């Protein structure tokens, strides 16, 4: 996916204005005279995360002009006119159409007649407006332009404003809350006198020196939308398709509306890679599916968000109520791992954790490839002793070695297995090994040069993984952890 560069946009816009100006400037000897239409009142209205309605006027009445939206600054043989609705008003014709856009990408809007044309470069805005109630009254409106794009491509220096309406569709009944907001301001305070939980708020920006107006989706309090959810689930299937389901209350505004109003958004933190997935409504549950093989950057944790009418409502949470949202969090396809993980700020409770999705090259070997069975236990109290009982697969000559590592393959401590009957017993004193509180250490089995990870579900009973109380030794507490299905251990 291309990253936005503002300079070509400015140059193309200047070229378009030059083309218009050329109409009155005359031509030099030997040059073909050029005539251009004039565009006016160009409006882009956000209908979904990446769906926009375009409305524009041009002085082309009677010319049977066509409208194009292209990805290049030239119309090629593969470009086709868009299907528009049009209405004439004197010399001006008003065109409207809808289009799905790649956010942050540059497009070219054309009106083309037999011997006249005009072009305007436009950028699909990369913004996710939201709103939260203030303790002191009123609300805080977040414009939420993403960090990975040039805001000036779709906003004049003082072109921001916030409007309010009683309707979920922006029209002439909307009134201004605050205008002439500098482009550098990321938020706007909505005073108590202009605030209402049942009202709809809009980010309205001007661009191209006022020629273009961009209207956001209707924004309401995120909490008022989230309260309509009754359940959330997320998982990966065997084809690396991420599916997120959302149940809603039967008498809610969401249930009464269109399922397409609820969308899944998968995006990079910088905002230079953004995807959306529409919902399919089945028995009161919205189901949204995204193909994770489309992701571009390995080892990058992508945000998973829910949007309503184009506005971000929330990150997909780790917990909904007290229930885990995540189901089926790992899949490997052609040597690539696709994983759902969770993240939260340091010190925050699990209720604040959000799910992320990422992919990585699968360089991991698992103990299951060498063992027919292996069981992990931890003895605490007067000692801290880790034991792994291993039955190796038939024909394997290597003796298993239990080791603690910290990310790489360097052994912080290790113990060779001792054959007892038909199994090897590896016993390791780890009381002085886990030194950094909060760090998750690896529990690994080495078979010669092969370093293998232990799959939690293969090797430890849940009562040992999560005992009634944390393991303790010499005044310190210890706990097993799981990372993408792999067993870890930490000093608390």
The class (CATH top level) of 130-220 is: mainly beta
Question: Topology of 6-26+35-123 in CATH?
Answer: Immunoglobulin-like (2.60.40)
Q: What stretches in the chain show pLDDT beneath 50?
A: 1-27
Q: Which CATH number fits domain 223-361: 2.30.42.10, 2.60.40.10, 3.40.50.920, 2.30.40.10?
A: 2.60.40.10
0.85 exceeded by the pTM? Answer: no
Q: In this predicted structure, what is the pLDDT of residue 15?
A: 40
Q: In this predicted structure, what is the pLDDT of residue 27?
A: 46
Three-state secondary structure along the chain? CCCCCHHHHHHHHHHHHHHHHHHHHCCCCCCCCCCECCEEEEEEEECCCCEEEEEEEECCCCCCCEEEEECCCCCCCCCCCCCCEEEEECCEEEEEEEEECCCCCEEEEEEECCCCEEEEEEECCCECCEEEECCCCCEEEECCECCCCCHHHCCCCCCEEEEEECCCCCCCCCEEEEEEECCCCCEEEECHHHCCCCCEEEEEEEECCCCEEEECCCECCHHHHHCCEEEEEEEECCCCEEEEEEEECCCCHHHHCCHHHEEEEEECCCCCCEEEEEEEEECCEEEEEEEHHHCCCCCCCEEEEEEECCEEEEECECEECCEECECCCEEEECCEEEEEEEECCCCCCHHHCEEEEEEEECCCEEHHHCEEEEEEEEECECCCEEEEEEEECCCCCCCEEEEEECCCCCCCEEEECEEECCEEEEEEECCCCCCCCCCEEEEEEEECCEEEECEHHHHCCHHHHCCCCCEEECCEEEEEEEECCEEEEEEC
Q: How many CB atoms lie within 10 A of CB 476?
A: 15
Span 78-112, pLDDT tens digits? 999 999 999 998 899 999 999 999 887 889 999 99
Q: In this predicted structure, what is the pLDDT of residue 1?
A: 36
The CA-based dihedral angle spanning residues 73, 75, 77, 80, taken in that order and rounded to the nearest 10 degrees: 120
Classify domain 365-491 by CATH architecture.
Answer: Sandwich (2.60)
Answer whether 130-220 and 365-491 agree in fold: yes
Q: In this predicted structure, what is the pLDDT of residue 30?
A: 55
Q: In this predicted structure, what is the pLDDT of residue 29?
A: 58
Span 362-379, pLDDT tens digits? 767 889 989 999 999 999
Task: Look at the block and give the residue holding tokens 């090629």.
Answer: 76
Question: How is the chain split into domains, by residue range?
Answer: 6-26+35-123, 130-220, 223-361, 365-491
């Amino acid at each position: 996916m291309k990253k936005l560069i503002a300079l070509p946009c400015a140059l193309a816009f200047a070229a378009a204005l030059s083309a218009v100006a050329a109409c009155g400037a005359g031509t030099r000897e030997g040059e073909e005279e050029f005539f251009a239409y004039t565009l006016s009142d160009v409006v882009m209205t956000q209908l979904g995360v990446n769906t926009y309605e375009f409305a524009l006027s041009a002085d082309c009445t009677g010319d049977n002009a066509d409208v194009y939206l292209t990805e290049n600054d030239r119309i090629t043989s593969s470009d086709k006119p868009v299907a528009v609705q049009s209405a004439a008003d004197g010399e001006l014709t008003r065109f409207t159409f809808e289009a799905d856009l790649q956010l942050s990408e540059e497009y070219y809007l054309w009106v083309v007649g037999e011997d006249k044309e005009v072009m305007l470069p436009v950028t699909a805005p990369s913004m996710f407006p939201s709103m939260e109630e203030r303790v002191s009254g009123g609300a805080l409106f977040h414009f939420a332009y993403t960090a990975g794009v040039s805001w000036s491509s779709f906003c004049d220096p003082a072109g921001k404003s916030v409007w309010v309406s009683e309707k979920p569709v922006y029209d002439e009944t909307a009134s201004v809350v605050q205008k002439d907001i500098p482009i550098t301001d990321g938020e706007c305070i909505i005073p108590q006198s202009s605030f209402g939980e049942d009202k709809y708020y809009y980010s309205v920006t001007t661009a191209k020196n006022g020629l273009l107006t961009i209207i956001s989706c209707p924004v309401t309090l995120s909490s008022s939308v989230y309260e309509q959810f009754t359940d959330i689930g997320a998982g990966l299937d065997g084809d690396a398709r991420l599916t997120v389901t959302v149940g809603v209350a039967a008498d809610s505004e969401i249930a009464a509306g269109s399922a397409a109003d609820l969308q899944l958004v998968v995006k990079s933190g910088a905002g230079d890679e953004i995807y959306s997935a529409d919902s399919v409504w089945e028995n009161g549950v919205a189901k949204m599916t995204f193909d994770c093989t489309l992701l571009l950057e390995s080892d990058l944790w992508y945000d998973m968000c829910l949007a309503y009418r184009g506005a971000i409502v929330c990150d997909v949470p780790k917990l909904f109520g007290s229930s885990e949202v995540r189901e089926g969090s790992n899949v490997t396809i052609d040597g690539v791992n696709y994983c759902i993980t969770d993240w939260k700020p340091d010190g925050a409770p699990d209720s604040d954790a959000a799910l992320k999705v990422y992919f990585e090259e699968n360089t991991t070997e698992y103990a299951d490839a060498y063992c027919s069975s292996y069981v992990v236990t931890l003895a605490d109290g007067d000692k801290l002793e880790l034991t792994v009982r291993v039955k190796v697969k038939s024909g394997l000559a290597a003796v298993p070695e239990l080791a603690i590592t910290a990310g790489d393959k360097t052994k912080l401590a290790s113990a060779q297995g001792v054959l007892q009957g038909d199994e090897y017993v590896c016993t390791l004193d780890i009381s002085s090994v886990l030194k950094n509180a909060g760090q998750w250490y690896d529990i690994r089995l080495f078979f010669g040069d092969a370093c293998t990870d232990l799959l939690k579900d293969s090797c430890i009973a849940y009562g040992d993984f999560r005992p009634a109380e944390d393991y303790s030794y010499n005044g310190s507490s210890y706990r097993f952890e799981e990372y993408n299905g792999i067993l870890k251990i930490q000093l608390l």
